[in-house]
Amino acid sequence: MNTPAAGGGEHTPQLGFAQRSYRARQAGLLFGLPMVLAVLYERGDLTWASWLLWLGPLLHALLWPHLAWWRARQSRDPFRAEGDNLLADHFFGGAWTALMAFNAVPSLLILALMSMDSVAGCGPRLMLRGLLVHAVGVFAGVLLYGFDWQPLSSLVVVAASVPMLLHPIAIGFVTNQALRKLQRQREALETLSRIDALSGLANRGHWEVLVRKEFARYRRYGHTATLVMADLDHFKYINDRYGHAAGDEAIRRFAALLGRELRANDTAGRYGGEEFGILLPDTTGEGAREMMARLRRCLHDEPLIDGHVVTASFGVAELTPMLDTCEAWMRVADQMLYRAKHAGRDRIVLPGPGGSEAEDGPLNGEEGVPPHLAVAAARPDVLRQLLTGIDMSETAFALFDPVDRLVLANAAFIEMYGVPAGDLRFADLMRNCHTHRIGPRIETDDIDAWLAAADSKRRSRPWRSFDVDMMDGRILRVEETSFGEGWVLTAISR
């Protein structure tokens, strides 16, 4: 015997339909029992033989609903099992029609209401099958009880049939409950189709629809609006260093920050990955820059990851008559974001007068350098220009000072060598690689001896080039160039 779990579980939609049918069947048979018994009372002489005729309708009304519900629960396909139960109802109804000598009012009510149950539950095809089974039930009833034709209904029978008219109300109630549930599910699906599950913000598709509506409003009424594209800086490093769970938490916290700092008529959406779009109706570019400056300050004051400041870059585009399409508007905002990323990150960039770019630089003189690196530079402006060129390069780049302390590194180097946070020397970095089995393959247990040999080779020649096997299977071409103020390491896949 199958358990309820084998039948699809206690909470499947099919079993829910069978449960609603169980309740409606209970009500319908109890409402219909008085009119059947009224006809039998008028026909019978109350002998023991006549009392046996009452047994079938009584068992049908009192026992069958529970047996039908049990069958549906035990079935692997509760919906199909309930269809069979409805056909059984038709058969019994046909038999009771013959038993009542085709008394018109109760016979027609049974046929009509059982047909309504069938078409409401399983559609017109089952209703047609039900009519056929109903006829078979009538034939079986004639064979069992004999043929008698007494179609006229007395006032007593009509009165006893009145409760049966309550059955459509029960069916209507069940149908209404199902429609309400369907409506709630539809609304939930519509919400899911508009909302990003991780951040709780509008998803890309819904956000772009709102941007297009705002663009159309501008074209019609001339209302000012500004678009902002935002991107969390060094997000791959966050996932690699702290794990994807921490990255997801950073996205959730950033979304919460947007919800707190933006106005009620502003709309933020998750554009994809760690990139977000912000629609600011009735806002100029300068107004948007002020709002994003507050967001940047919040990011520094309230880190998205405990113990690690996660900055963001912002590209701002005010809607102007020169932008003749919504796509052009979004493209300008995306270009400004691109400029912000390549200018060193943690900044706001928007188009300036005459096509130039206006820019808000990093807070606290950080000049866009990742906050987990110790940066030493006498000329921050030169450092910034250097970072702009190398940060997005596929070549891993790292600069060390004369005492082997890491001064700066681009994203490719951070990823290849799994650079941890803190003030690091080359030896610390290699020990971390050896311990966590990342970066270069160091096939020795004596890491100090390996470091001593590497230091000796580097100091013996101002420039050297060699191949390095990485733990991820790649082979890198590494070059070390030493000069008076330190040395540079570059690495690229062969």
pLDDT beyond 50 at 188: yes
Q: Highest mean pLDDT range out of 19-33, 69-83, 131-145?
A: 131-145
Q: Can you tell me the mean pLDDT for 385-412? A: 74
Listed residue (74, 76, 68) closest to 21, CA to CA: 68
Residues 28 and 107 in one domain: yes
Question: Confidence class of residue 253 from pLDDT cuts 50, 70 and 90?
Answer: very high
pLDDT tens digits along 2-48: 334 334 444 555 666 667 777 778 877 888 888 888 888 887 755 55
**Residue 113 pLDDT > 60:** yes
Cα–Cα dist 252/304, whole Å: 9
Q: Beta-carbon neighbour count of residue 58 at 10 Å?
A: 12
Q: Are residues 82 and 173 in the same domain?
A: yes
Residue 244 lies in a domain: yes
288-309 burial, b if ≥16 CB within 10 A, otherwise e? bbebbeebbebbbeebbeeebb
Report the alpha-carbon angle 103-105-111, nearest 5: 95
The mean pLDDT of 182-203, rounded to a whole number, is 78
Q: Is residue 375 part of a domain?
A: no
The answer to the question of residue 438 being in a domain is yes
pLDDT exceeds cutoff 70 at 359:
no
What DSSP state is assigned to residue 420? P
Residue 448: domain span:
380-493
Q: Using CA atoms of 413, 417, 418, 420 in order, give the dihedral in degrees to the nearest 10.
A: -80
Structural domain tally of the chain? 3
Question: 177 and 208, same structural domain?
Answer: no
Q: Residues 57, 170: one domain?
A: yes
User: Are residue 233 and residue 171 in the same domain, yes or no?
Assistant: no
In this structure, the answer to whether residues 136 and 250 fall within a common structural domain is: no
The model's confidence at residue 190, banded by pLDDT at 50, 70 and 90, is: low
User: Which residue is it, tokens 């009771």?
Assistant: 96
Q: In 3-state terms, what secondary structure has residue 6?
A: coil
Percent share of the chain, pLDDT over 90: 27
Domain boundary (164, 188, 212) is at 188
> Helix/strand/coil (H, E, C) string of 359-419?
EECCHHHCCCCCCCCCCCCCCHHHHHHHHHHHCCCCCEEEEECCCCEEEEECHHHHHHHCC
Its pTM surpasses 0.85: no
Residue 338 half-sphere exposure, CB side, CA atoms within 13 Å?
6
Query: In degrees rounded to 5, what are phi and psi of residue 66?
Result: -70, -40
Specify if 342 maps to a domain.
Answer: yes
Q: Are 457 and 464 in contact (CB under 8 A)?
A: yes
Confidence at residue 380, expressed as pLDDT on a 0 to 100 scale? 46
Asked if 406 and 487 sit in the same domain, the reply is: yes
Domain assignment present for 6: no
Residue 378: the pLDDT is 38
Structure tokens, 395:
């070549």
Residue 197 lies in a domain: no
Q: How is residue 99 written in tokens?
A: 């038993």
**pLDDT digit string (tens) for 235-250?**
888 888 889 999 999 9
Mean pLDDT of all residues in 169-189: 71
Give domain status of residue 2, yes or no: no
- Statement to judge: residues 265 and 408 lie in one domain: no
Give the H or E element holding residue 1: none
| Same structural domain, 353 and 400 | no
Closest by alpha carbon to 411, among 239, 275, 255, 253?
239
- Please give the Cα distance from 400 to 407 (Å, whole number): 5
**What is the average pLDDT value for the chain, to the nearest integer?**
81
Kindly report which listed range (64-68, 379-383, 402-406) carries the lowest average pLDDT score: 379-383
Q: How far is CA 449 from CA 23, 121, 123, 454, in A?
A: 81, 80, 81, 9
Which residues are bridge partners to 268 per DSSP? 278
Which residue has better confidence, 211 or 11?
Answer: 211
Exposed, middle or buried by CB within 10 Å (0-12, 13-18, 19+), for 171? buried
Q: Identify the residue with better confidence: 254 or 75.
A: 254
**Burial level of 473, CB count in 10 A (0-12/13-18/19+)?**
exposed
Specify whether the CB–CB gap between 399 and 408 falls below 8 A.
yes
The closest alpha carbon to 395, from 483, 458, 479, 468, belongs to: 479
- 125 and 248 within one domain: no
Contacts of 493 (CB under 8 A, 6+ apart): 394, 474, 475, 476, 477
Could you tell me if residue 412 is left (phi over 0), alpha (psi between -120 and 50 degrees) or otherwise beta?
alpha
> Is the residue at 470 inside a domain?
yes
Indicate whether 416 and 488 sit together in one domain: yes
CATH of the domain at 480: 3.30.450.20
Pairing of strands 348-351, 312-318: parallel
Task: Give 76's DSSP letter.
Answer: S
Residue 365 is predicted with a pLDDT of: 41
pLDDT of residue 12: 59
285: domain CATH number?
3.30.70.270
Alpha helices in 231-318 (DSSP H): 235-242, 244-261, 285-301
pLDDT of 387 > 60? The answer is no
Show the DSSP H helices in 302-325 as ranges.
Answer: none
Q: Which two tokens stand for residue 411?
A: 């994203």
pLDDT in tens, 277-315: 999 999 999 999 999 999 999 999 999 998 888 999 999
pLDDT at position 232 is 95
Same-domain status, 349 and 448: no
- The CA distances from residue 234 to 250, 275, 308, 341, in Å, are 12, 12, 12, 10
